[in-house]
Structure 1
Amino acid sequence: MRILVAVKRVVDYNARIRVKADKTGIETANVKMSMNPFCEIAVEEALRLREQKVASEVLAVSLGPKACQETLRTALAMGADKGIHVLTDTELQPLAVAKLLAKIAEKESPSIFLLGKQAIDDDCNQTGQMLAALLRWPQATFASKVEVDKAASKAQVTREMDGGLETLSVGLPAVVTTDLRLNEPRYATLPNIMKAKKKPIQQLTPEELGVSVTPALQTLQVTEPPKRQGGTKVASVQELVQKLRHEAKVI
């Protein structure tokens, strides 16, 4: 059984986000980049399934410019067996990503495709669902627990909902997207970081996969949120009501 894991290179969650002067996007020059935290959770879960002898091989996939190989090396250092890099400098939107991942799934024939539920840069939360639709595979999103029955070729996934927890049984192959409470990702040790340098990374292009990645959406402008204004003190409830009614216009 093979597991494919998608990993995305994003601005580090500790970095301060700045908008470009021309308002065409956010500033990424000289900004620390790292693996999307939800993708780290997906890699960790794939490795745990391999340690449980459920899976025999874990393949990490990343899409984007040459710098994405750093993210793949991080996944390999954590323990993934092989990397696949789809090289493109074009801005990738969720549907294009899903189409590329679907083509890779057709080539590699995994039993489970693990993805983070969303990326912290765009928060789209769309790729996993689109991928499942394109592959016509069952999907289990926002997973907080994953148990695989290899003999029955099924997975039992507990997922988080607004009203509590829902447990699904899905046939394999399936797409599973991971939530925060699924696990705690491991740190890559120095020996594993050195070993990761020798692990293979296969390089592909969208053209080789027969997928058009031309953006369907155009970003017109990116602006910073307005600065929060300071609060004021009121002398009485009547004054508060007047301000809410006439100034804030909320009642």
Structure 2
Amino acid sequence: MSVVSVQHVTKLFARDEGEPTIALKDVNLEIEEKQFICIVGASGCGKTTLLRIIAGLETTTEGAILLDGVPVEGTDTDRGMVFQEYSLFPWKSVIDNIAFSLEMQGIPKAERRQMAEKYLKIIHLEQFRDAYPHELSGGMRQRVAIARALANDPKVLLMDEPFGALDAQTRNVMQRELLEIWAETQKTIIFVTHSVDEAVFLADKIVILSPRPGKIEEVISVDLPRMRDRTAPKFAEFRKHILESMEKSAIIR
């Protein structure tokens, strides 16, 4: 059974005047445990909307999201969310930012500190445990945001363009570090990106959404060994195929 099942999901947004906007239309997707899935598509195709529906931050107009066969209703700790904005509390230290959601759950201080330390080690920022967000680089702040999402031990990690605000070099480093974190934690990851290069580097499968209304145009399995070589001919073939698929769907519509 799939860990995440997207079943006939349609999403409409009401407008003050005229017909509602159809963001997603009859989207169906099965995601298996421990898979790394990237969702790509043109701006406004519904990538983030789909991710937010899976997270429980938005509701469907039609259809359903199942997590381990159970319908998703609202947010829960079984899904962790990482946004492009770091969303860290500037008045809290790194370790306290990671432990915040555990504190909200009423977990005793010693226990949540121990859990936070575990994920602090995974992101290799032990020496910055008492630092504050303004003392960290953009990549370091995003690592803290990832650790905070992982601290709840979610079944699925949802990531909405988490490296979009980083410079190219830092972004490449973070992609490698995320793959290391994924290998260590064995989480299912659903990752939204505008970058085809990033998707080919990271994903087991790449989901291409059509321009609005968002429909699944194609699902591509990336059978390249990790860590992937961006200069390899096969890597370029995948990138070319995805770009052509996205361009074709835009022209048809």
TM-score by length of 2: 0.28
TM-score by length of 1: 0.28
The structure with the largest helix share of the pair is: 2
Please say which structure displays the higher CA radius of gyration. 1
